[in-house]
Amino acid sequence: MIRKSILRTSIALGILLASAAPAFSQGMKVGTVDMEKIFNEYYKTKKARARLKEVEDQAKAELEERMDAYKTILEELKKMEQEATNEALSEDVKKQKIKTYQEKATEAKSLEREITEFRQTRQRQIQEQILRMRRGLIKEIIGKISEKVKVDKYDLVFDRTGPSSAGYPLVVYSREGLDFTDEIVQLVNKDAATGSAEIAE
């Protein structure tokens, strides 16, 4: 499988380079950016991560609240079980305590299912929120890159951090002068001082 992926990637790169060769010879303008650096240094990324931390902390608090209630019920069940097996009690009292115990046990099972569903649902919601935020931020970053590409008339821009399907970087080497990552970092953070950051949730 890995060998096939490498072969496919090599073929794709070969086709790309072969098709681009005439253009390079005619002076194609190429640039590179470090998307990972831009993404991490984007002020909205930092705000999004802070917001996600709040959501995760809230979910954790809600889960702990349910877990505490579940532990309390388990402790009550343990006491009720001891009381229901007390030989000094009459049969009628024992039956009533057993009935109460069974009702409490049903309550515990219901809460256990609720906890499991809550954990799964919140994890899914948080993951979906992370993906939405990431897509939105990347779209904004690419928009800023596109602005520079149009102004400076770039023909191709490569992401230096982007791995190929085989796991190695698509750009093995690029001359230092080709990279304009820092310019994009400044561009995306131009409005950071105003504090306006609408982040998709």
Question: CA–CA separation, 9 vs 7, rounded Å?
Answer: 5
Task: Give 43-62 pLDDT, tens digit per residue.
Answer: 999 999 999 999 999 999 99
pTM of the model: 0.69
Question: Domain containing 33: what range?
Answer: 25-194
How many structural domains does the chain have? 1
Residue 178 lies in a domain: yes
Q: How far is CA 149 from CA 5, 32, 153, 168, in A?
A: 31, 11, 5, 26
Dihedral (Cα; 28, 150, 182, 23), 10-degree rounding: -10
- Let me know if residue 8 belongs to a domain: no
Taking a C-beta distance cutoff of 8 angstroms, is the pair 129, 199 a contact? no
| Rounded-to-integer distance, Cα 107 and Cα 24, Å | 72
Q: Give the C-alpha separation, 69 to 81, whole Å.
A: 18
Along the 201 residues of the chain, how does pLDDT read in single tens digits?
434 444 444 444 444 444 444 544 457 888 989 999 999 999 999 999 999 999 999 999 999 999 999 999 999 998 888 887 777 778 888 888 888 889 999 999 999 999 999 999 999 999 999 999 999 999 999 999 999 999 999 998 988 887 666 666 677 666 777 889 999 999 999 988 775 555 555
Question: H helices within the chain, ranges in order?
Answer: 2-25, 35-41, 43-84, 91-152, 181-188
Predicted local distance difference test score (pLDDT) of residue 195: 58
Is 88 domain-assigned? yes
86 located within any domain: yes
Asked whether residue 96 is assigned to any structural domain, the reply reads yes
